[in-house]
Structure 1
């Protein structure tokens, strides 16, 4: 789809699209509207949902299978993109998962096997996905952007996913350090709560909704992801060419309020 905007001509790999309510879906939509070409990834049985959502984008993109726990699938995506584009201007990491035992107030009793799954998919995958893509990203002096939820404090019901996000945020800093010499930027968006499929899977998610409505000085609409998508796309563009290792809060100002 031809367009005109801050990412005109860019080539983006976007993960984490499950439905048209996904944060990543709106990033993909905006990217296309501003002139970028995108490819999506999906995993396992969920890839059918990704393919369905892809058909709702302005220019339905290809969907590549990519389970981030399977190195062979990551390598297949890398090989596809190398042949397809020869470079990668941006990678959006919008992947997270924790077994039910790791959420909902069960912090003290979650078994290691489930915690390991949460850490692998929600934190380690930032490195396991980015590292093979580094040569393609370096070719374009590209950007990696990940979506997080403020891991500087403990939240109700978030439990081991909160720990995974803390690891995710630390991994982003180490990737920024490791990849910076190749001209690759790594930044995160710390988003306020949005009513996505992932959010609905968290027991007690309504507690976040109520708190944000009351305390965010700019206000917060849990059904509107436009501000998050716009900020994400800006970080993926050349407009933040001197920024890496950063966490940009797009949460209505909630993170800065003491009470």
Structure 2
């Protein structure tokens, strides 16, 4: 019996097998879960990536988290593959180029708005769309990056992540009576497609290992995937509104 035997999960944010979401889906399947993936834009690539999972027949549905029409039909499209959901992974974030790279003071509102819509509000949108599919409760887990400090070049994405943390706490408050837990995993820097789009990422990565109590491997998604899998299971039944750091202990170290 695995941690997730008999569980049905919806995993967003898979693009390539370097995606954190891919590794969450892989570990979840290894622990017994049935997984439904969502993709956006490059659907053929997502479908090819899905075939690299332990269950190569993993279904993939299209979902743009900023599209109200797609969110409205999400339930019926998910139930074509599973009768309910026990857990959801939110692994979607995006900021336009002007919102990153030291341009903080000059970023126009439309680009800031896009960053917030995709990276922050979408957690609420996805959770509300999936809640009716979790009649007996469940777990929503989102991916975070430490928002307690400012990071060079991260700019409005950092602000959006701070909003994500607050959003998760309010969702925990309002979905708790339905038995739905909402938590975030704040990962250290990992070499994903999304990370390559952040100016100065290599510099952040370079110093992380040296300052982490346990050390850090930016090419290893396994620790983050295991943490997400545990939170999606029944092993944290009284934990909600929490940010779990999986960063080698970097966040707890001073100079």
User: What range describes the TM-score normalised by the shorter chain of this pair?
Assistant: over 0.9
Tell me if structure 2 keeps the 8 A contact 1:227–1:250.
yes
Deviating more after overlay: 82-91 vs 155-164? 82-91
Alignment-derived partner of residue 94 in structure 1: 91
* 1:83 to partner: Cα distance: 4.6
Instruction: Trace 1:23-172 onto structure 2 (pairs within 5 A).
Output: 23-44=20-41, 46-60=42-56, 61-137=58-134, 139-172=135-168
d(CA) in 2 for partners of 1:209, 1:154 = 15
**Secondary structure of the equivalent of 1:8?**
coil
- Structure 1: how far apart are the matches of 2:233 and 2:197? 31
Q: Which runs of 5+ in 1 are unaligned?
A: none
2:236 aligned to which of 234, 240, 243: 240
- 2-structure distance, mates of 1:125, 1:203: 24
What are the residue-to-residue correspondences of 1:190-209 with 2, within 5 Å? 190-209=186-205
Matched position secondary structure for 1:239: coil
Return the match for 2:247 from 246, 251, 254.
251
Q: Which has the higher helix share?
A: 1
Give 3-state SS (helix, strand or coil) of 1:5's partner. Answer: coil
CA distance in 2, matches of 1:132, 1:54: 23
Gaps of 5+ in 2: none
May I ask how many residue pairs the two structures share in their alignment?
A: 254
SS in structure 1 at match of 2:129: helix
**Partner residue of 1:12 out of 5, 9, 12:** 9
Indicate if the aligned counterparts of 2:84 and 2:133 stay in contact, CA closer than 8 A: yes
Give the Å deviation of 1:231: 0.5
TM-score (norm 1): 0.96
In the superposition, the TM-score normalised over structure 2's length comes to 0.97
Aligned with 1:249: secondary structure?
strand
Query: Contact between 1:88 and 1:140, CA under 8 Å: does it hold in 2?
Result: no
Name the Cα RMSD after superposition: 1.0
Which residue of 2 is the match for residue 230 of structure 1? 226
